[in-house]
């Protein structure tokens, strides 16, 4: 918290120095040639013969081209409303008039806007930059998973680029749009992805694509047949959908929280202040010049009363903001490790591969059902024996700059910095008065502007809080409930804090091995195809699968998400990333746990042989 206010203090110094840099030549210590009332003088003790040339000089610098508004000597103006009430104090004289007051009022309004903006700047920069950085970071994770999946389909499953492009692009675009807070149903997207994949896998992996024709009519038949045959991908689509929905839901909730923080700082920065406030700031900031005190600074306690009154509504955000910050910090702890979007995206290509492996090893369960509905694919005599070559994917395989940012480090830094903002809105108004270039910090000083003359400020300082300000502020009339903006914002912060607390507890329960129970509840024992993919409580959930193809793995040796390893009974935890783009074993893969690259390559080869032989037998016997 202190670091934030040190930053604010430094920026305010620069602001106030810029405001006064042009005035240094004329801001001399008050002497006999200045129009200065003694600390004990009354408000109307100025001599009519006193010159207002110093005031004119300062006014001309503050408002270029308007120096002529300043009278040549002190005088009375019945229309004065702020620095004194002309019609009530007939004997009051000063170097100001109503035209000057209007100028001062506009300047005070602008000054207050700038001061609030500067006070807000550190927190605003933190939350706005973080909102963009986190969204970009999550999108880059999805993009890398898309690249890895595309390389998997190309290198291992030999799915033609023209055929695989649309399912991949549509699916991962849905994931990106979900992060962008668009209305996307993750379960529907995953389901559609595997619906689109089924014809490709059936044609390219369960038949000979170099001999069989793949017509649009046959493709449509395969799509329509899929819901009526033994689930070709087993339980994997639903399992993947359940996992993605959980992780992406948590991630989007976090982004919504960060964006609410952005909304909060933007709202406080652009709050419309009451006219009572602008008049009080005018009196604080400029009315001393009407008395000839061109270099006078306000008394510290006087400043506190004015700023606390002006920003009373902003201070009402203190309690909900502090609760919100605590909830964000607690919730962020559920976004790392095995249950993070980073880990899930790194292992997504492997889980999609497991689904395809299931279809190849269990093809006997649905192949004849498909043939019964759609018939055998026709021979294509136009195709050459060598088949068609994959011309490569249009998906860009590259490293994104955002992905180079260590996710866990970025998350920790953000929550650490955000935690420092607790109490920010409690001390929001006081931060303005901490600047010695703006006020006289010595509370007992006789040489500060107290709103009437140079001397000690004797009024009590009103406590922070809207109710106290409404009842006791001596410098202005504070109105309660004049706008619903802050009330609405308070409700949003409190609602989000409760939502984050509830979600954090739910995530913690799921991470405490409740995930297994959730899966069993979601997939009853009689679910079609569950025999090969059933879970049991004794399974080892701790071995990960690696990250896949074509992208950097910044996991630093961490295993991927434990509950990804569902153990379908037909395969172990395959290290898919142990095979490079040329299908050659990766020597580095030997350092990881689980099967080696050679074992997976053998598994793929044997599976392909089984699938090809199986398809040939059915074709001959058909």
Task: Kindly indicate the confidence band of residue 6, based on its pLDDT and cuts at 50, 70 and 90.
Answer: low
DSSP state letters, 566-615 = ---SS-----GGGB-TTS-B-GGGGGSSSS-HHHHHHHHHHHHHHHHHHH
| Average pLDDT of span 51-56 | 88
User: Is 240 among the domain residues?
Assistant: yes
Q: What is the pTM for the complete model shown?
A: 0.74
Per the model's pLDDT, the better-predicted residue between 582 and 228 turns out to be 228
Across 36-45, 344-353, 600-609, the highest mean pLDDT is recorded for: 344-353
User: Is 52 among the domain residues?
Assistant: no
Task: Determine the Cα–Cα distance for residues 472 and 469; give it in Å rounded to an integer.
Answer: 5
Range scoring the smallest mean pLDDT among 258-262, 378-382, 572-576: 572-576
Task: Determine the Cα–Cα distance for residues 147 and 589; give it in Å rounded to an integer.
Answer: 20
Neighbours of 331 (CB within 10 A): 24
Between CA 346 and CA 505, with CA 565 as vertex, the angle to 5 degrees is 80
Per the model's pLDDT, the better-predicted residue between 48 and 454 turns out to be 454
User: Is 361 among the domain residues?
Assistant: yes
| Average pLDDT of span 145-152 | 96
What is the per-residue pLDDT across 496-522, written as a single tens digit (0 to 9) for each? Answer: 999 999 988 887 766 654 444 444 444
Sign of CA dihedral 417, 422, 428, 433: negative
Task: Kindly indicate the confidence band of residue 1, based on its pLDDT and cuts at 50, 70 and 90.
Answer: low
Task: Determine the Cα–Cα distance for residues 353 and 153; give it in Å rounded to an integer.
Answer: 8
3-state secondary structure labels for all residues of 474-500: CCCCCCCCCCCHHHHHHHHHHHHHHHH
User: Is 357 among the domain residues?
Assistant: yes
Phi, psi values for residue 147, rounded to 5°: -60, -45
Query: What's the Cα-to-Cα distance from 17 to each of 283, 397, 431, 438, 568, rounded to whole Å?
Result: 20, 52, 17, 9, 70
Sign of CA dihedral 505, 511, 512, 518: positive
User: Is 604 among the domain residues?
Assistant: no
User: Is 318 among the domain residues?
Assistant: no
Which residue segment(s) compose the domain that 220 sits in?
121-264+339-378+406-416
- Cβ(532)–Cβ(569) below 8 Å: yes
Range scoring the smallest mean pLDDT among 409-413, 429-433, 491-495: 429-433
Task: Determine the Cα–Cα distance for residues 157 and 608; give it in Å rounded to an integer.
Answer: 9
Q: Percent of the chain having pLDDT more than 90? A: 51
Cβ contacts of residue 602 below 8 Å, gap of 6+?
none
Q: Residue 583: pLDDT above 70? A: no
Task: Determine the Cα–Cα distance for residues 392 and 394; give it in Å rounded to an integer.
Answer: 7
Q: Residue 123: pLDDT above 80? A: yes
Per-residue tokens: 228: 């009526």
- Cβ(539)–Cβ(531) below 8 Å: no
Q: How many domains does the chain have?
A: 1
Predicted pLDDT at 585: 34
User: Is 345 among the domain residues?
Assistant: yes
User: Is 29 among the domain residues?
Assistant: no
| Average pLDDT of span 309-330 | 95
- CA-based radius of gyration for the chain: 36
Q: Residue 373: pLDDT above 90? A: no
Query: What's the Cα-to-Cα distance from 182 to each of 174, 178, 179, 288, 302, rounded to whole Å?
Result: 9, 5, 7, 55, 49
Element (H, E) at 278: helix 275-285
């Amino acid at each position: 918290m202190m670091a934030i206010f040190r930053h604010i203090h430094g920026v305010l110094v620069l602001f106030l120095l810029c405001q006064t840099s042009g005035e240094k030549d004329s801001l001399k210590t008050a002497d006999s040639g200045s129009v200065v009332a003694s600390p004990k003088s009354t408000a109307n003790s100025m001599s009519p013969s006193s010159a207002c040339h110093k005031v004119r000089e300062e006014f001309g610098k503050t408002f270029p081209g308007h120096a002529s508004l300043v009278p040549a000597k002190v005088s009375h103006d019945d229309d004065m409303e702020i620095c004194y009430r002309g019609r009530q104090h007939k004997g009051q004289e000063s170097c100001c008039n109503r035209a000057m007051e209007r100028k001062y009022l506009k300047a005070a309004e602008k000054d207050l806007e700038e001061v609030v903006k500067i006070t807000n700047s550190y927190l605003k920069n933190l939350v706005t930059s973080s909102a963009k950085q986190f969204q970009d970071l999550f999108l880059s994770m999805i993009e890398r998973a898309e690249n890895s999946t595309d390389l998997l389909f190309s290198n291992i499953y030999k799915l033609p680029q023209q055929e695989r492009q649309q399912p991949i692009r549509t699916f991962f675009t849905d994931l990106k749009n979900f992060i962008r807070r668009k209305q996307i149903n993750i379960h529907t997207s995953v389901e559609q992805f595997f619906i689109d994949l089924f014809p490709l896998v059936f044609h390219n992996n369960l038949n000979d694509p170099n001999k069989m024709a793949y017509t649009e009519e046959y493709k449509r038949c395969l799509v329509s047949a899929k819901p009526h045959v033994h689930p070709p991908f087993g339980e994997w689509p639903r399992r993947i959908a359940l996992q993605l929905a959980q992780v992406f839901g948590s991630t989007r909730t976090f982004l919504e929280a960060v964006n609410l923080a952005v909304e909060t700082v933007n709202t406080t920065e652009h709050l419309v202040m009451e006219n009572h406030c602008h008049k009080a700031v005018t009196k604080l900031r400029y009315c001393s010049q009407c008395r000839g005190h061109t270099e006078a600074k306000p008394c510290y306690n006087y400043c506190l009363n004015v700023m606390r009154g002006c920003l009373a509504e902003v201070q009402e955000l203190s309690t909900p903001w502090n609760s919100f910050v605590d909830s964000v910090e607690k919730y962020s702890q559920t976004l790392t490790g095995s249950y993070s979007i980073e880990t899930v995206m790194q292992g997504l290509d492997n889980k999609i591969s497991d689904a395809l492996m299931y279809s190849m090893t269990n093809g006997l369960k649905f192949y004849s059902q498909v043939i019964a509905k759609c018939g055998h694919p026709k021979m294509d005599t136009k195709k050459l024996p060598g088949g068609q070559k994959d011309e490569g994917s249009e998906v860009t395989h590259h490293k994104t700059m955002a992905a180079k940012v260590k996710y866990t480090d970025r998350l920790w830094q953000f929550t650490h910095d955000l935690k420092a903002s607790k109490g920010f809105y409690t001390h929001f108004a006081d931060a303005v008065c901490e600047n010695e270039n703006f006020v006289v910090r010595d509370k007992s000083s006789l040489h500060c502007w107290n709103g009437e003359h140079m001397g000690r400020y004797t009024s009590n300082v009103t406590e922070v809080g809207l109710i106290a300000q409404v009842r006791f502020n001596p410098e202005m009339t504070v109105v309660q409930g004049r706008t619903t903006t802050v009330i609405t914002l308070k409700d949003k912060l409190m609602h989000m804090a409760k939502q984050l607390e509830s979600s954090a507890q739910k995530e913690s329960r799921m991470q405490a091995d409740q995930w297994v129970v959730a899966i069993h509840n979601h997939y009853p024992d009689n679910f079609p195809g569950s025999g090969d993919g059933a879970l049991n409580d004794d399974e080892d959930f701790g071995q990960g699968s690696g990250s896949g193809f074509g992208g950097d793995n910044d996991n630093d040796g961490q295993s991927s998400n434990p509950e990804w390893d569902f153990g379908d009974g037909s395969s172990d935890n395959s290290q898919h990333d142990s095979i490079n783009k040329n299908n050659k074993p990766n020597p580095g893969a030997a350092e990881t746990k689980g099967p080696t690259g050679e074992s997976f390559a053998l598994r793929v080869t044997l599976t392909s042989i089984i699938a090809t032989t199986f398809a040939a037998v059915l074709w001959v016997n058909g």
